[in-house]
Structure 1
Amino acid sequence: MGLGWDYIFFIGIGGIGMSALARYFVANGKQVAGYDKTPTEITKSLEDMGIAIHFEDAIKNVSKEFLNPENTLIVYTPAIPKNHVEFNYFKDNNFKVLKRSTVLGEITKQTVCLAVAGTHGKTTTTSILGHLLNVCGVPVTAFLGGISENYNSNLIINGTEVTVVEADEFDRSFLTLSPDLACITSMDADHLDIYGNADELIKTFKDFSECIKPNGKLFVKNGLPLKGITYGIEDDSDYSAQNISIENGSYVFDINTPNGIHKNFKFSLPGRHNLSNAIVALAMAVEYGCSYIALAKGLESYKGVKRRFTYQIKTEDFVFIDDYAHHPEEINAVHQAVREMYPDKKVLAIFQPHLFSRTKDFVEGFAESLSKFDELLLLEIYPARELPIEGVTSKWLLHKIQNSNKKVIEKSEIIDEIRKSKAQIVLTIGAGDIGAEVKPIKEAFHV
């Protein structure tokens, strides 16, 4: 479907999922252009590939060759506002206008599709799986929800027979997929602005599990209320990590499988949640047909995803880590990882809440998870697509946090506050624009 069009125009091209699709179409010889609200590192990298991008919402900025409905496909993100001028122009003038998830669904229909679903862990699991298949020589295209450290891209291309995709539960977009192999990493309540309640979210994950092709396979984290091939850590799952030790900051473990135990795997991402992601990626690659010897090499060479427990500074005296965590369970996972790696060090967390609705829905969970750090600095809530909700502020969240070393600060105060702290480990956490603060912090404290 999408491949039948010569010109592809993206509304919201700088989004992580949208930009991966844009790269894909360029790799397949299509003419690509797009709009986004603001310039970012992602839009710059797309422009470096020759993609024309503009940042003012006006039809005059769209090149003439993209204004023919006969040969131009319009791809949009649901995050754009309803009054978007370009979006409405294309809709009113008989262009084919499709959501990103629909286009992705159409691309994967022609392939063997491996899909990764779950409220947490999708991006890391997808990037591990894409890397493993690529190392094993599988002709794969992997669409990632983050920038892979191994490829410095959110797209891995080594052929088109197999696709690896994140199955995103936001606005139920993963129901457009029909995977051959799929996994569900977690079903914690999230996106309640879309779903209303946790039961509806769980029902939608069950609906997704029914999208799998008739002879396909579903992998589920042990303990989830779905039937499938189970995976876990030190338990009785079909695939499980056993005999785990930490050597030089890496996990060394054996993997118990339906075909016996395979020994001495090595994985360098900290945190039991990441080890769990590695186990299901291994399980899916094994069931696809990869060999354990090749998979062990692939897993050892995996470097991670930017903004997923990414070390920015790592010295004996000072460590700075950046992470995308924006849900209480994800913050708990970051806390577990940092305590496991640095059990005796003082930890300062700088957190930017993401969305007023998520802060409101999970305020008690956020308070509990953030209370675990030795010191806490809170930034104001990042609104993304939302308008403020009365009474929902970072100050409100701060009052609920059981920690005497806490305060709300402005972004301009971050570096001074780190200097005042005696913490040896500094974390920046959040899915908003806190990522833009990483470079200045790194420059201020890099030895």
Structure 2
Amino acid sequence: MRDTIHFSGIGGVGMSALAQVAAMEGRPVSGSDRDFDRGRNLGVKAALEALGIKIFPQDGTGINGNSAELALSTAIEDSNPEVLKAKELGLKISHRSELLAERVNGSDTIAVAGTSGKSTVAAMLFTVLEAGGLQPSIVTGGALGALKQRGLVGNAYRGKGRVLVVEADESDGTIVRYRPRTGLVLNISKDHKDVEVLNKIFAEFAGNCGRVLVNADDAPAAAALPAAPVFGFDAGGWKVSDVKLGPFSSFFRINGTPFELPAPGRYNVENALAACAAASLYGVSLADCAAGLKDFRGVERRFVLVGEKRGVTVIDDYAHNPAKISALLAALHQAPGRRLLAVYQPHGFTPTRHLKAELIESFAAGLNPGDMLIMPEIYYAGGTVTKNISSKDISDAVAARGRKTAFYENRADIPAVISGAAAPGDIVVVIGARDATLADFARQILEAL
């Protein structure tokens, strides 16, 4: 019987999320991934197989008499054996973005949008909706610690309730295909695209939502969507007070209700407020929100405490655009008197070139005189690209602004360098996106201490 949907590139974040939800709904699912064939990302492979998903080599054998549909990620070429086999058999071929839009538009969806904080707010929103008894579903880009504790990959879950939380990514423009019941716009800043382009994308997204909430404390977002209902520290009927920020936790009140959040930084207080504002539209009380967030298990590579050794703390974080880096450095400086050794690996030559000036400013303004920026070369994911910029261009420019920096062409040299330079009380933070090996690299630094 032809009823199986086959995901080509199933190990990717977006593809694995959709595959898991389909499997949790009882649909027969299979998949393949080149990383699996090369012996990489095997933890994700095992978690998918535990859901009953059959994994094939990416050689065309996964497309067979049981296959009804082939789902593709952007990484899959037309010459891929699975694509050729699916065309030969006349199967329906769908792109990941089409499948996600179909799911968003067919559910009671809350789409979390903005250039920063989407994964964390989506995770917090899922947490508070669960605390409120709504049994939500989620499709997101960052693995939730709470879902990983359940033996899942962490970036997707199919609950029994009607509400679906999705992280709505603007980077590829597909966000404008979504028709969610509720939209949440957190912020707008220069990232993959310039602000003028992003304003148009988010305005079209907001127009497609049944209702939308916008962060009044983010001036660009509020200016781009002036007619939208808002939330904020003192806006839209919300009041955040008594904020106490620690190096690894935050304490505050929302409309008088006390919150204790095991995550640092003002930006995480903002994230929590956004989640509460959206949840309130679904009847979740602030008391339930506070109870859920007290046990928040975080998101993979979002301010993850890797460990401590010889009095040195190692943190791993996904920050990659200037706004995220600035917020992260400010949060880390909530630990007074502790020196930062920031290891930043830019992701891709094109985005680094696009954001060069803003990245320089983030580090030059965000690091204290005693801190140090350590940079390996720009992460290269493959393909045709102009390599006319280097991490050294950024580190040299930050040094010219009076900050201590170092550039290492070979990233493998850095753990030993940090081991020799770090002193008790220091915080080492590994910063960067896209490269799946960065979490392991942070652990290597800890082991080298």
Q: In the TM superposition, what is the alpha-carbon distance from 1:85 to its structure 2 partner?
A: 4.0
Change (3 A) 1:286 1:385: farther
Distance 2:49 2:134 in 1: 29
Tell me by how many angstroms 1:116 deviates. 0.1
> Which shifted more, 417-426 or 307-316?
307-316
In structure 2, the CA distance between the partners of 1:89 and 1:398, relative to structure 1 (3 Å rule), is farther
Q: How does 1:319-398 map to 2 (within 5 A)?
A: 319-340=313-334, 342-371=335-364, 372-373=366-367, 374-384=371-381, 386-398=383-395
Contact 2:3–2:28 (Cα < 8 Å) also in 1: yes
**Residue number in structure 2 paired with 1:13:** 10
Give the whole-Å Cα distance in 2 for the aligned partners of 1:5 and 1:246: 55
Equivalences for residues 267-306 of structure 1 within 5 A: 267-306=261-300
Q: 3-state SS of the aligned residue for 1:370?
A: helix
Please give the alpha-carbon distance, in whole angstroms, between the structure 2 residues aligned to 1:20 and 1:101: 12
The two structures, once aligned, show a CA RMSD in angstroms of 2.3
Measured after TM superposition, the shift of residue 237 of structure 1 is 4.8
Provide the rounded CA distance (Å) in 2 between the counterparts of 1:160 and 1:80: 33
Task: List alignment gaps of at least 5 residues for structure 2.
Answer: 149-153
SS at match of 2:385: coil
CA distance in 2, matches of 1:247, 1:407: 31
The CA distance in 2 between the partners of 1:380 and 1:53, in whole Å, is: 34
User: Is 1:108 aligned to residue 104 of structure 2?
Assistant: yes
Partners of 1:94 and 1:408 in 2: CA distance: 51
Conservation of the 8 A alpha-carbon contact between 1:356 and 1:386: no
Amino acid paired to 1:181: T
Does 1:308 find its partner at 2:302?
Answer: yes
Task: Give 1:89 deviation, angstroms.
Answer: 4.3
Aligned equivalent of 2:26: 29
Q: Distance in 1 between matches of 2:266 and 2:310?
A: 23
AA of the residue aligned to 1:163 = L
- In the superposition, relative to structure 1, how do residues 439 and 54 fare at CA in structure 2: closer, same or farther (>3 Å)? farther
Change (3 A) 1:141 1:440: same
Query: Which letter does structure 2 place at the counterpart of 1:52?
Result: K
**1:156 matches 2:151:** no
Q: Distance in 1 between matches of 2:172 and 2:124?
A: 25
CA distance in structure 2 between the partners assigned to 1:417 and 1:82 by the alignment: 44
Letter in 2 for 1:324: Y
Amino acid at match of 2:411: K
Report what 2:171 is aligned to.
170
Structure 1 residue 75: deviation in Å? 1.7
Q: Is the 1:355–1:386 contact (alpha carbons within 8 Å) kept by the matching residues of 2?
A: no
1:253 alignment partner in structure 2:
252
Query: Where does structure 1 lack aligned partners over 5 or more consecutive residues?
Result: 256-260
TM-score (norm 1): 0.88
Matched letter for residue 397 of structure 1: I
* Shift of residue 47, structure 1, vs aligned partner: 3.3
What TM-score, normalized to structure 2?
Answer: 0.87
- Do 2:10 and 2:33's aligned partners in 1 also have CA atoms closer than 8 Å? yes
2:443 to 426, 432, 439: 439
CA distance in 1, matches of 2:308, 2:331: 15
Equivalent residue number for residue 192 of structure 2: 191
Q: Is the 8 A contact 2:24 2:51 kept in 1?
A: no
Q: Give the letter for the 2:348 counterpart.
A: L
Tell me which moved more, 122-131 or 138-147: 138-147
Query: Where does residue 53 of structure 2 map in the other structure?
Result: 51
Kindly state the Cα deviation for residue 360 of structure 1 after the two structures are TM-superposed.
Answer: 0.4
- TM-aligned CA deviation for residue 408 of structure 1: 2.2
User: Is residue 257 of structure 2 the alignment partner of residue 263 of structure 1?
Assistant: yes
Q: CA distance change for structure 1 residues 401 and 54 in 2, over 3 Å: closer, same or farther?
A: farther
CA distance in 1, matches of 2:323, 2:409: 24
Please give the residue correspondences for 1:55-74 in structure 2 after superposition, counting only pairs within 5 Å: 57-59=58-60, 61-62=61-62, 64-66=64-66, 68=67, 72-74=68-70
Displacement after TM superposition at 1:396 (Å)? 2.5
Aligned to 2:151: none
The alignment of Structure 1 onto Structure 2 pairs a total of residues equal to 423
1:94 to partner: Cα distance: 2.9
CA contact (8 A) 2:5 2:69 kept: yes
1:133 aligns with 2:137: no
Distance 2:105 2:286 in 1: 28
State whether residues 364 and 400 of structure 1, in contact with CA within 8 Å, keep that contact through their aligned partners in structure 2. no
Task: Give, in whole Å, the separation in 2 of the partners of 1:101 and 1:308.
Answer: 24
Counterpart for residue 258 of structure 1? none
Q: CA 1:435–1:248 in structure 2 vs 1: closer, same or farther (change >3 Å)?
A: closer
Measure the CA separation in 2 of the matches of 1:32 and 1:175.
28
Q: What code does the residue aligned with 2:183 have?
A: A
Q: Does the CA-based 8 Å contact 1:184-1:221 persist in structure 2?
A: no
The residue matched to 1:30 in structure 2 has which SS?
coil
